[in-house]
Structure 1
Amino acid sequence: MTEYLRLNAARNAAIATDRERCWGEERFYNNSESCVRVNGKDSEWFPINSGVGQGCVASPDLFNCVIDHLMIRVRQQVSGMSFGNFHLTNLEYADDTTLFSNSLQDLSSALSIYQTEAAKLGLQERWQKTKVMYIGDRLHPSPLFFGTDEVQFINSVIYLGSTITSSGDLK
């Protein structure tokens, strides 16, 4: 049995976090303001109270520190999948994270660890954006719940422009 999980909300949650808890002293972002330019006109300036500053050279590093911390904890729990000589536990690209597991129980456990570690950093997973895809010829396993939120099972996913189906086909 093989499950495939797409956790695209993980990184989105990271940029809407309580930065005090994640990064402590905020020398880079104290008293930061921004504006939006539309058709050559700037909006009123407004304070930046959460997330990382767009265009700031430190932002990608801060963002990656948070995600890497979470994924180190999660990878320890995920069984992953073998493809010939390669063993794959996760894929990360931009704001998408994909976890691979041989059992729904391992996957559920890994997500619980993610939820616990994320909460320590002030993050909250948006379970409605989390999707699970079973790859194989069996029917979908029992529903997967986190609290009162049910994680949706899907039949296909587009990853880096390629469609992966629940039968294992790549289009």
Structure 2
Amino acid sequence: MAGVGATRRLLHELAAVNRDRSGQKELVKVLEPIREDDLLEWHAELHAPDQGVYAGGRFLLQIQIPTSYPTKPPSMHFITRIFHPNVDWKSGEICLDVLQSQWTPAWTLQSACTAILALLDVPEPDSPLNVDAANLARCDSVAYRGLCQLYTQLYASEKAPTEMNHSE
């Protein structure tokens, strides 16, 4: 159960997301609690920008929020498989400093989703969770881009399944 501070903050964020119909809303299609009676489990649907290696992709995220939120960051991971240097292929874990050491209460779930979208465009191959993707991004950008596009078509296109289990 969420603490009073976390509950208040999450209700405020949910209201802000529902009011926000600006440009980022187009890329963050869904950001909401999974169930009405539990504010600590959310999901998001991110749509990759029209340009870039993930163009046309829609990526589902699972968000676990600690009871000490917003002091502590949420745990966010991809449900949809994605080939990216900073995302673990098996678990969907995301290596992003704002979800770890650089988190401050000024960040919101919406801004964290926006940071994840930015990471898609500008990977950080020097701190990889997917070493194969990082090596390919550094050494053969054409092959890297091709694999990103292929996996986006397989797992994140409109024709792909809506959920992928990372335990496969």
TM-score computed with the length of structure 1 as normaliser: 0.30
**The structure with more strand, counted as a fraction of residues:** 1
Q: Larger radius of gyration, structure 1 or 2? A: 1
Higher-RCO chain (CA-CA 8 Å, sequence separation at least 6):
1
